[in-house]
Chains A and B, each alone.
Chain A
Amino acid sequence: MGHHSHDIEVTSTSPYEFKSRNRMIAGAMIIIGVIAIAAQFATHHEQTWANLLMNNFMFLAFGLGATFFLALQYVAEVGWSTVIKRQLEAIGLVLPVAGVIMVLIFFFGGSHLYHWMDVGITDPKAANYDKIIAGKSAYLNAPFFWVRVVLYFCIWSYGIRILRKNSLLMDQGNSTAIWKKTRRFSCGFLVLFAVTESTMAWDFIMSIETHWYSTLFGWYTFAGIFILGLIGLAFTVTYLKSKGYLQEVTEHHLHDIGKFIFAFSIFWTYLWFCQFMLIWYSNIPEEITYFMLRQDHYRGLWLGSFFINFICPFVILMSRDSKRKPRLIMAMCILLFIGHWFDTYIMVIPGSMVNISHHAVEGSAMVFGTITWMEIGTTIGFLGLLIYLVQHYLSKAPLVIKNDPLMEESLHHAI
């Protein structure tokens, strides 16, 4: 039996060719984004900084989700996924760019986004003194916040850098030792990831509504990040296959990716429901305000995100066949992108608009988030950047690792 096994070999020995047509498309999307963002600044659109945060957060989530999943492949000694590691790397490599943009957003827009950054808010003598926020200032203060922000992006960027470096080394042979080293490194990375992911979710998003708190928030955010990483992977793989690349990836691999999307969409729903239900049930003023704001003013998006992100994958991806159809998986990725766009919107925008209203002139009406061409344009811009960078990194190395010690398992993967 075993001795015919070397019939299948790695055929994707060359990188992806980033054609000028695709460069143009991605470039055009980025230009649309730049125009949309410029227009927001020019018209003093209240939502500008919140839009930037929300979109860059999703951009970051693609990279972070993919890097997490990549590290997990090494830690769990996964065989089947070996042929798709390079795609995860290409998505993960956007992390440093997301980091730079995030730093810019916080530097110029932090005080617009975060109520706790307001001058005087922790000063008992100031007119806008807030006792609750003052109580949190040991954690929520600008210097410590900046230390954390820099630390997060350094850790994550370093993580994906080493994973990539080792993977390229495996192309050159003597791979078992490198693979073992990478597994060890990935263990350390996942430990740091477990801590930084939660605190990042508190820092970047939960602290927008500074009074509000939820212990589950970090893990809930993680579920969304993971889904984005997975749909990034699924889309990249199916796209490459549709262009004739990645002959090694079969419907069996697609099936497994589909299972992950299916399972973790339910996991996301589970956490969504736990967080909502426990707060709704207890109905404590400190907590319930969060959901009241969303229920009263953003009901469509709030429930929409729940239905798209749960019902759609649950019903569509339930059957075995659907997970093996590339076009269906692609459509699912687009649908889930929209669903998680809704979810991120619901996490970021409502609270930011409340903060904007605080900053507005006394007596002016409360402002709420909207979805106009400017919001959609911003998202197109960030998507353009993502598409550009992922293709760029795919064009930098062969699409499949050459000597990964688990490659045989992946090439012969059949379920």
Chain B
Amino acid sequence: MHKESELRPPLILGDKTWHDITEDVCRPVESKANKWWWLAFSLAVAALLWWIVAVSYTLGTGLGVWGLNKTVGWAWDITNFVWWVGIGHAGTLISAILLLFRQKWRLSINRSAEAMTIFAVICAASFIVTHMGRPWVAYWPIPLPNQFGSLWVNFNSPLVWDVFAISTYFTVSLVFWYTGLIPDFAVIRERATTKWRKRIYTLLSFGWVGSAKNWQRFEEVSLVLAGISTPLVLSVHSVVSMDFATSLVPGWHTTIFPPYFVAGAVFSGFAMVQTLLIIVRKVLGLEDYITIYHIDMMNRVILITGSIVGVAYLTEFFIAWYSGVEYEQYAFINRATGPYWWAYWSMMTCNVITPQLFWSTKLRESVFATFIISIFVNIGMWFERFVIIVTSLHRDYIPSSWTMYHPTWVEAGIFIGSLGLFFTCFLLFARVFPVIAMSELKTIIKSSSEGAKKKHAKTVTQEVNV
């Protein structure tokens, strides 16, 4: 029999019944959008239009419209790619690893975190396709017979590993997310009052009837998918880091990269989850489900992963000195004091110093402080990738080819536009999908809700009195 300590705060506030949860979660789906949603959506779509313009211009004209040069051959494109892939990691960590660790607080946030993962991976993939310059041959990294026009892929290349890592990641995340959605879609289907809503959600819910057999299969599939997703949390960003670490470029070739990239990815992912959920809980009135305790727990993850990232920064810096390799040493001195010093110190401030503020319980439990710090972390993690990529490249082994990198409006457009793409997807998600995994959340109402805890405390007191 399950038992929960009194030390554990409730995960659902207010005396909620099962029906209350259904009502609260379905309300946004069943009602009309308010003007704030339309305003946000218009902004997102406007940014998305810029993305379409910038991408079309790039593909129509060629990669020359970007600020890349022969010394700095990778810059914003891969920075953005790694940034987006990293953001996706929180969803997988929440749904897979927190499931294995039996962290019940994941239940209020897993749905939107997983949605965020999927949209973030789509944004990431868009950078790979655009930086190829010729998307019509984007299938070339896939090992297809030579008749298709490309040469057989080079399996020694980490870029090919990346293709497999990211596509596996996307597929598993999508299946995991969708599996969780099925019972919730069925709930909306049952409640549907209009013909089209009924039809659409019938289609989406795959004939779910909520029988014991349905649930048993659901549980089994969830566990198997969690098992598959767990190594993916580590492998995806490890492979991404190997794009750099297998090279001979000082600042890129370092063995700590795989686990350090993973920690950084989880760090940035949780920051993005905070940014989104703080708005979502307010706008959709879900404060009873995404409570201060949830925010606190996520802030703890941010503090821990931020500290791991900090230790990794210092380790890299120290070992660069310790190695005695002149190039390695210069790469790090140049990062901190060279022409890109501002990027380096932005990264250090945002990623190492700001999360340390979360040692304060008061700040961890402050919605406002969390929101601000989460934005700082988002910015810091973008700069981290920029620093790794651009500062390592711009001063290579031959000083005569040293140069700077200047982004163009096209690159800025693709980056801002990818944010537009992301938010367009997320805002649509928040309108038509249940943003909280209500069926799963209902499983803890008897153990972890405020109502259940009050009832339990009352029983205990009565017993003591008897």
Listed in ascending order, the chain A residues whose CB lies under 8 Å from chain B are 1-5, 77, 79, 131-132, 135-136, 139, 176, 191, 194-195, 198, 202, 211, 213-219, 259, 266-267, 270-271, 274-275, 277-279, 281-282, 284, 286, 405-406, 408-409, 411-412, 414-415
Q: Which residues of B contact A (CB under 8 A)?
A: 1-8, 100, 102, 231, 234, 238, 242, 245-248, 253-259, 307-308, 311-312, 315-316, 319, 322-325, 446, 456, 459-460, 463
Q: Quick one: which of A1, A79, A136, A275 contacts B322, CB cutoff 8 A?
A: A136
Distance in angstroms from A404 CB to nearest chain B CB is 10
With A3-B460, A215-B316, A274-B259 already in contact, the answer to whether A176 and B2 are too (CB < 8 A) is no
Inter-chain CA distance A270–B234, complex, in Å, is 9
Interface of A is mostly: helix
Q: Given contacts A270-B234, A408-B5, A414-B2, are A278 and B257 in contact (CB under 8 A)?
A: yes
Give B193 Cβ to nearest chain A Cβ, in Å: 37
Chain B min CB distance to A401 (Å): 14
Select B7's contact among A4, A77, A217, A415, beta carbons within 8 Å.
A77
What CA separation (Å) do A279 and B254 show in the bound complex? 9
B187 CB to nearest chain A CB (Å)? 26
Which of chain B's residues have a CB closer than 8 A to the CB of A405?
A: 5-7
Closest 7 interchain pairs by CB?
Answer: A215-B256, A216-B255, A412-B3, A135-B324, A274-B258, A132-B324, A281-B246
Pairwise interchain contact A282-B5, C-beta atoms closer than 8 A: no
Docked-complex contact B311 and A198, CB < 8 angstroms: yes
Q: Which of A216, A259, A266, A411 has the most CB of B within 10 A?
A: A216
Distance (whole angstroms) from the CB of B117 to the closest CB of chain A: 21
Ordered by A's residue number, 11 sampled pairs between the chains whose C-beta atoms are within 8 Å are: A3-B463, A132-B324, A176-B7, A198-B311, A211-B324, A215-B254, A215-B256, A266-B231, A274-B258, A278-B257, A412-B2
CB distance from A34 to the nearest CB of B (A): 37
With a cutoff of 8 Å between Cβ atoms, the chain B residues found around residue A77 in the complex are 7-8
For residue A252, give the distance in angstroms from its CB to the closest CB of chain B: 11
> Is B259's CB under 8 angstroms from A271's CB?
yes
Q: How far is the CA of A408 from the CA of B460 in the complex (A)?
A: 14
Which residues of chain A have C-beta atoms less than 8 A from B6's C-beta?
405
The closest CB in chain B to the CB of A176 belongs to B7
A414 with B1: in contact, given A213-B322, A282-B248, A405-B7 (CB under 8 Å)? Answer: yes
Beyond the given pairs A271-B259, A275-B255, 15 more chain A to chain B contacts, judged by CB atoms under 8 angstroms and listed by A's residue number, are A2-B459, A4-B1, A77-B7, A194-B311, A213-B323, A214-B319, A215-B254, A266-B231, A274-B257, A282-B247, A284-B248, A405-B6, A406-B5, A409-B3, A412-B2
Of the candidates A79, A191, A211, the one having the most CB atoms from chain B within 10 angstroms of its own CB is A79
Contact A213 B259 (CB under 8 A): no
Q: A3-B463, A132-B324, A213-B319 are in contact. Are A274 and B5 (CB under 8 A)?
A: no
Q: Which residues on A sit within 8 Å (CB–CB) of B253? A: 278, 282, 284
In the assembled complex, the Cα of A411 lies from the Cα of B8 at a distance in Å of: 16
- Which partner residue on chain B sits nearest A275 by CB separation? B255
B172 to A: closest C-beta gap in Å: 17
Name B253's closest neighbour in chain A (CB-CB): A282
- Across the interface, do A214 and B5 meet the contact criterion of CB distance under 8 Å? no
Q: How far is the CB of B314 from chain A (nearest CB, A)?
A: 9
Chain B residues in 8 Å Cβ range of A2 = 3, 456, 459-460
Q: Contacts of B3 on A, CB cut-off 8 Å?
A: 2, 5, 408-409, 411-412
> Which residue of A218, A266, A286, A408 is within 8 Å of B323 (Cβ)?
A286
Taken together as a complex, chains A and B put the C-alpha atoms of A409 and B312 apart, in Å, by 36
Q: What's the least CB distance linking B246 to chain A, in Å?
A: 4
Question: B242 contacts which of A259, A278, A406, A411 (Cβ < 8 Å)?
Answer: A278
CA gap between A1 and B453 in the complex, in Å: 12
B255 touches A215 (CB 8 A): yes
Q: Which of A79, A274, A409 contacts B255 (CB 8 A)?
A: A274
Kindly state the separation between the CA atoms of A284 and B1 in the bound complex, as whole angstroms.
57
> From residue A4, how far is it (CB to closest CB) to chain B in Å?
8
Flag if B255 contacts A214 (CB, 8 Å): yes
- Residues on the A chain within 8 Å of B459, using CB: 2-3
- What residues of chain A lie closer than 8 Å to B319, measured between beta carbons? 213-215
Shortest CB–CB separation between residue A174 and chain B, in angstroms? 14
Complex Cα gap A240–B100 (Å):
27
Q: Is the CB of A278 within 8 A of B1?
A: no
Contacting residues, chain B, for A4 (C-beta < 8 A): 1
CA distance A340 to B51 in the complex (A): 53
A176 to B337, CA, bound (A): 49
Most chain-B Cβ atoms within 10 A of its Cβ — which of A4, A79, A278?
Answer: A278
Taking CB atoms, residues of chain B closer than 8 Å to A194 are 307-308, 311
Query: Which residues of A sit under 8 angstroms from B446, Cβ to Cβ?
Result: 1
Q: Which residues of B contact A284 (CB under 8 A)?
A: 248, 253
Contact B5 A278, beta carbon cutoff 8 Å: no
> Which residues of chain B come closer than 8 Å to A279, judged between CB atoms?
255
